[in-house]
Structure 1
Amino acid sequence: MTQWNDDRRAARVAFVTGAASGIGAAVCRLLAQQGVAIAAADQNEAGLAALQDSLGAGARFLGAVLDVRDEAAQQAFVAQVEATLGAITDVVPCAGLARSAPAEEMTTEQWDLVLDINLRGTFLTCKAAAAVMLPRGRGSIVCLASVTARGGQPGRANYAASKWGLVGLVKSLATEWGHRGVRVNAVAPNGVDTPMLNVGVPAAFRDGVMLDRTPLGRFAQVEEIAQGIAYLLSDAASYVTGTVLDIDGGLTAGYLTHRHGADYALHQR
């Protein structure tokens, strides 16, 4: 098992995209509590300022307004992080979005935007960070997949394709970079209690379908997803790479489930 000395633990630096809200912000808060320096990127400048305030005066923090589709901007931020905070050890590409529409009505703009942010943007983040981590022979990357990477979903062909592609990306990078000291994994959440879920998903589908078929009977809190990410980043997961960790309240544990997994047929006898 890989053991990191105290100096290496203290020197951890995390590069997180989509950091201004939701899961990304929760990851930043949790890692900062563990003494990790935070390099946060997002397109929401006000959100980054609020995140920095939430971390407290003692946190080591560097923020940047950044579009993950911009390869040069990502490379420049990585260089700035290394010069300001030190060597990047942890990477969490959280930037992502959804644009729902029936497949036959989905515009090429809707398709391209989701694939560019969710998949291409994640790849560019991994690539920019790998340029400095691979020569050092150490590092851990945790990407944000989804239960939608386990099956299709009506109205979200672009989102499903991006998350299926992301799983393929994670497994490919894990096979390429593992022997060079960099681990690559992903988490796959179910619905998470965020504005994206509560505003962006119709209530009838959110509560009548997603929640109904989740055995734990509730959606995740962002802190619960962050805990899974923190585990995969840590040396407690030093022999884990190429894995997609489902954090889904049991949603993908079975099929034809109803009422939080209760045996509907038996109840109707």
Structure 2
Amino acid sequence: MDIHTFFSRLWDDYTAMTPQASRIHDAFVAEGETIVNDHVAFRTFDRGPITLAALEPHLLALGYTRFEPYEFKAKKLRAYGYLPPSDDQPRVFLSELKCSELSHEAQGIIDGLIDQIDPARVATPDVMWAGRLWQAPSFEDYQSLMAESEYAAWLAIIGLRANHFTISVNHFQRYDSVEKVLARIESLGLGINASGGRIKGSPEVLLEQGSTLADRQPFTFAGGQVEEIPTCYYEFAKRYPDAAGKCYQGFVAASADKIFESTDIKRYGT
């Protein structure tokens, strides 16, 4: 699979889960802005056939290279950033949950999901938008995971897919700041993730980021209970040149930590 097909298929799956993304994309295009994708992010567990190390070869096969590692101690995550083979392609951020840092109960729930995965299903790059590779968990199990890790609960019901795409504010003309972008998003009636502030980062750390609150949709849990859950969200990033005059390529862990909370239902105020 070539890189253009990969991201086209990924976008189709993402927008099916995230209708706001199409609305946002189309609103900016209608105003003459050029949409360039800064990066795409994925979440996974560090167990079974879907670990970061197991999924990484699909990125390397597309020409990506590992860039920097990141740790999120409070959220029990590790991650890597990946640089694309050419500047016109998005960066990738791939994170995984350190399951052993959760309770035995939570680990048991996760292992029950992972045990259902057919390892052969992970052999092709379309696993990156496969969604759940296991049966829907019960609402009780979802709540148990949520009590320890919002990331784990989200992944248990949403599965493997892009949790966000990111618009490069650097390529905008009229909306040339993250704050201007966020104000336009709000004018569309969409919520902003204000955890850690509307704008995460600063010119001093060479990266500013903002994001929407994730879309929501009804989800049928095992046993038939239906609840509205967060799906995926859209991010906006502006990068600044480093001391050598080159555009910053990495991520800022303190900012990413708060961006993760775009899928946290506690942020919705409802």
TM-score (norm 2): 0.27
**Which structure is larger by alpha-carbon Rg, 1 or 2?**
1
Q: Which structure has the higher relative contact order (CA within 8 Å, separation 6+)?
A: 2
The structure carrying a bigger helix percent of its residues is 1
